[in-house]
Structure 1
Amino acid sequence: WCCCVSFSEPNEALVVSRETIDRYDLDTIDLPANRTDNHSGKPALYRRQKEISREVSDDEWRMARACYYGRITELDLQLGRLIDWLAESKQLDNTIIVVTSDHGRYVGAHGFDAHNCGAYEEIYRIPMIVAGPGIAQGAESQALVQFPDLGPTLIELAGAEPIETLDFRSFAEALRKSEAADAFQTAYAEYHGTRFPLCQRILWEGDWKFVFNGFDYDELYDLKNDPGELTNLAALPEHRERVDRMMAGIWKRVRDSGDRTILESHYYSMRFGVVGPNFASSE
C-alpha cells in the first residue's frame, strides 16, 4: 500500500496556538544573516519585493519565525500520530516513511517573507527525511536529489525493478551508503512564474549554482564561500567560462525535456545569441 498525506502547514498564515508559541523564547530566535541583502547586481524585481517588508522590525521577524517553527512543531505532532498508528498495527518495521515539502519559505531571509520570488536556497534546498528498512539510520546526506527521483527510489526500495529515464533516477543507493551521494552533485529546477513575470531555470553543480532569469540579470553563486547568496558573480569576467558552461547545461535540459515554455511558446527572442537553445551544443 501507499499513503500520501498532504498538510498545508507551515505554509501561508503563520497562526499557532498559545501553548505552542510559548515553547519558543523569542530572544533566542536567530535571524538570518542575509536579511539585510540589498540585492545589488541582481534582478530589480528582488528589490521591489523587499520593499513589501521594509518596515518589518527584527522583533517582528523573530515572532514570525517563532510562529513558523511553531507550525512545524504542530505538524510534527500529527506525523507522530501516524507513526504511532503504524507501530500499533505492527507495520512500522515494514514501512518506508518520507517527509518532505514542495518548497521552503524565507521568513526574513534576503528581506523576503513568502516564497514566490527569487531562486534562493531557502526556497529550493528543502529537507527530505527518509526512514525504513534498508536505509541507513541517523545518517545525513548532501546529495542533490529531486522530486522526480522519489518515485523510482520508492519503487527500488520496495524491491521492484529500478526505473531510470532522462528526467529522473533512483537515489536508493545514496540512502543505503553515504558515499553513494557523490553521484548526486547536479540538480535542475524550473519555475514558470506565478504572481510575477518570473520565469527561471536553475542548475546546481556541486557548490555552484546558476540561475537563468528570462526577465533580468542572470545569477551565479558560490555556495561554499557565500552560502547566504549575497554576491551575484554572473557578470564578473573571471567567471565567464563557468557561466557559459552552466548556461549551456540549462539550455540542454530545456531542449532535452521539451520545455516549451521557453523553447517555443513565449520566448522566441531567446533563440538568438548565447541564451538560446543552440547554445546547448557548446556544452
Structure 2
Amino acid sequence: MKKKYNILFIITDQQRKDTLGCYDNELIRTPHIDKLAAEGIQFNKAYCESPICMPSRATLHTGKKAIHHGVTHHNDSMRPDEQTIAHVLAEKGYVTKCIGKMHLTSQQHRGREESIADWRDGVYKEWQGPYYGYQTADLILGHSNSLVGHYGNWLREHYPEARHRFVVENMEKLPVSSGQGVYNNDIPESLHSSSFVGDRTVKFLQDMKESGKPFFCFASFPDPHWPIMPPKAYYEMYDDVAMPPQAPDNGEADKHNYPRQFGMLKRDKKNAYDGGGHYVNDQTEIEAIMRPYWGAVSWIDVQVGKMLQTLKELEMEEDTIVIFTTDHGEYMGAHGMMAKGGFVWEELINVPLIIRCPDLIPAGQRTDALFSFIDVVPTLLDLLEVAPSTLAPDGVSQKSVLTGDREMLRDRLTVTHFGKGDASMNPDIHSLITPEWKLNYYAGDDNGELYNLKEDPQEMNNLYHDPGLESLQRELIRKLLDELILVKDKSYEHRIKDADRYGKHAMHYEEWKSELEGV
C-alpha cells in the first residue's frame, strides 16, 4: 500500500527573506526555522507571482497566476467555486484544516466567510468551515484583532478582560512618521495571535496522531505584517543590536531611464498601488521600526519550534512534508521605501522557501534554482503522487529539484504587480526573471528597469536603454510577451472594488467600542 505523506504548510505575512538566520542574517534569532532549512532544501530564488497578500495566497492555493484565479488586488475575492489543493486532498481522504490568516476573500464586504462586518453581527458565530476545501477552519481576521474571527471569539469567551489590551490607545506607539503602526504592548504571550496559530496547530497535530489519518494543515501567521506589535520581550529583543544597512535610495525619481512612477511615488509622494508603499529617508526611523519587526519574526520562530517539536515527539517527522514561506516581502527601508506596493524590488518579491521531508528530500540543500509560487501546488501534489484532479495549475512540479535529481527546471519566471485606476499613471508592472537578469516592464511607459542580478543584487544600476544591451533587452521583452500571451486566453476577472472601512489594520477604540464595552 502506497504511503500517504502529510503536509504542514507554514506561512507568514509580509516577511523579508533576509530576516532568517538561514538566509545569511547573523544577527537575528530564528534557530527553529534555520534547523528546518538545514534538514531540507532552501531556495534562494523563490518568487511570489504577485506581491500583494490576496493574489499571492490565492496562487499558493490554486497554482494559478493571478490573471487566472481573478484575485489581482487587495479587496478582490476568490470566486466561490475556485478549486484548491485542499479540495483535491480532501477528496483523497486527507483531513484538511486551516488556522490563522487566510485572506482568500475580502474582509471588507458582506456575504463571505472573512467579512469583518458579518462576524461583528454574529453571522459566523457557530461556523467552523468548510472553506475552500478545508473541512474546518480557525480564522484570524485583520491583524491581531481580538474581537472577530475564531481567535476573537476565543479571547471573548476565555479572556474577556484582555481584549482592551489590543486597542492601540492602550499601547505605546513608536513615534515615527513612516510605516503603518508599531506598538509596544502588554499583551500576554499566551494570548498573542502567533501563539494562537502555534497552539491550535500543535493541538491539530496531536489529534491527527490519534486518528491515524493523513492531513493537510495550513498554519498561517498574521505577522510580521503591520501593525508591528510582538509581545513585549520580543519587541525589545533587538534594542541593543545595530541594524544592517539597507539598499539605499538611488535617486531614481530624477534619472532619465526610470518610469514616471518613481517620480510620482518618491518625489511627489503619490501611490495608487495596493500595499501602502511610501517613501522614507530617515535611517533612524528605519532602524527603530526594523527592531520590533525582527522581534515579530523571532516570536514566530518560537511557534514554529513548537510545531516541529510536536512532530518529532509524535514520531511524524518522517511522514510529514513541512513547507515554510511567506506571501510576499517588505521594503523595510530598502531603496528608501516602507511597506509594500508600487515597485518590484527583490526585497518585495524574492521570498523565503524551505521544504523538508526526510523520507523524500535530501537534507542540507541550498539551491539557486528559480521557483515560482505557481509551482507550489503541482510540486506538493507530485510529492504526494496525487493527480491535480479538478485543478488546472499554471506551474510545473519541481519534485526533481527537491529530490536532487535536477539542478534547475526553469530558465525564467514572471511576476506581475497590478496597478489601479488610470493605467497611464498606475500601469501593471510585469517582471521577467532569469538566473542572471531581471526586466521590469511598465505598460505604456517608454522606460523600464533592467538589472544584472548576479553583478548588481541590490538593483542599483538600471541598464534599461543601455546601448550595449539593446539586443538583450529586446530578447527579454520578447520572452516576457510570450509568457503573457500564452496565459491571456485563460484569464478570469472577479474584482470587487469598494471603500475599505477596515483599512486601518490596528484596532482603534472608536471603531470597536461597542464590543469593548461588553456587548
TM-score, structure 2 as length reference: 0.47
Q: Output the CA distance in 1 between the equivalents of 2:230 and 2:264.
A: 29
Aligned to 2:250: 37
Cα RMSD between the aligned structures?
A: 2.5
Equivalent residue letter for 1:189? V
Deviations 1:160-199 (A, max 9, x none): 468998821111111121x723333311112212588241
State which of 42, 48, 57 in structure 1 corresponds to 2:264: 48
Aligned to 1:170: 397
Aligned to 1:67: 292
Corresponding position: 1:205 with 2:421: no
State which of 215, 221, 224 in structure 1 corresponds to 2:451: 221
| Aligned-pair identity (%) | 24
State which of 191, 200, 207 in structure 1 corresponds to 2:417: 191
TM-score, structure 1 as length reference: 0.83
Contact 2:377 2:393 in 1 (8 A): no
Aligned to 1:100: 325
Contact 1:104 1:122 in 2 (8 A): yes
User: Which structure shows the higher helix fraction?
Assistant: 1
Q: Output the CA distance in 2 between the equivalents of 1:122 and 1:91.
A: 34
Q: Output the CA distance in 1 between the equivalents of 2:280 and 2:336.
A: 10
TM-aligned CA deviation for residue 26 of structure 1: 4.6
Aligned to 1:18: 232
Contact 1:190 1:202 in 2 (8 A): yes
Aligned to 2:486: 256
Equivalent residue letter for 1:251? L
Q: Output the CA distance in 1 between the equivalents of 2:321 and 2:249.
A: 41
Deviations 1:243-278 (A, max 9, x none): 1111111111111101688xxxxxxxxxxxxxxxxx
State which of 441, 462, 470 in structure 2 corresponds to 1:240: 470
Deviations 1:120-140 (A, max 9, x none): 111111110111122121221
State which of 394, 398, 408 in structure 2 corresponds to 1:182: 408
Contact 1:162 1:170 in 2 (8 A): no
Contact 2:280 2:337 in 1 (8 A): no
Change in Cα spacing, 1:24 to 1:215, as seen in structure 2 (3 Å) is farther
**Uncovered stretches (5+) of structure 2, i.e. residues with no partner:** 1-214, 270-277, 492-519
Equivalent residue letter for 1:151? V
Contact 2:370 2:408 in 1 (8 A): no
Q: Output the CA distance in 2 between the equivalents of 1:207 and 1:166.
A: 26
Q: Output the CA distance in 2 between the equivalents of 1:86 and 1:94.
A: 9
Q: Which shifted more, 247-256 or 20-29?
A: 20-29
Number of residue pairs the alignment of both structures matches = 259
CA radius of gyration, larger in: 2
Corresponding position: 1:140 with 2:353: no
Q: Output the CA distance in 1 between the equivalents of 2:459 and 2:399.
A: 30
Contact 2:451 2:459 in 1 (8 A): yes
Q: Output the CA distance in 1 between the equivalents of 2:241 and 2:311.
A: 38
Q: Output the CA distance in 1 between the equivalents of 2:450 and 2:228.
A: 32
Q: Output the CA distance in 1 between the equivalents of 2:350 and 2:229.
A: 24
Aligned to 1:87: 312
Contact 1:31 1:61 in 2 (8 A): no
Contact 2:429 2:440 in 1 (8 A): yes
Q: Output the CA distance in 2 between the equivalents of 1:160 and 1:55.
A: 47
Contact 2:398 2:409 in 1 (8 A): no
Q: Output the CA distance in 2 between the equivalents of 1:165 and 1:220.
A: 32
Question: 1:107-118 counterparts in 2 under 5 A?
Answer: 107-118=332-343
Equivalent residue letter for 2:433? W
Q: Output the CA distance in 1 between the equivalents of 2:376 and 2:366.
A: 17
Change in Cα spacing, 1:55 to 1:214, as seen in structure 2 (3 Å) is closer
Contact 1:49 1:112 in 2 (8 A): no
TM-aligned CA deviation for residue 55 of structure 1: 5.8
Equivalent residue letter for 1:159? E
Q: Output the CA distance in 1 between the equivalents of 2:299 and 2:372.
A: 26
Change in Cα spacing, 1:237 to 1:26, as seen in structure 2 (3 Å) is farther
Aligned to 2:210: none
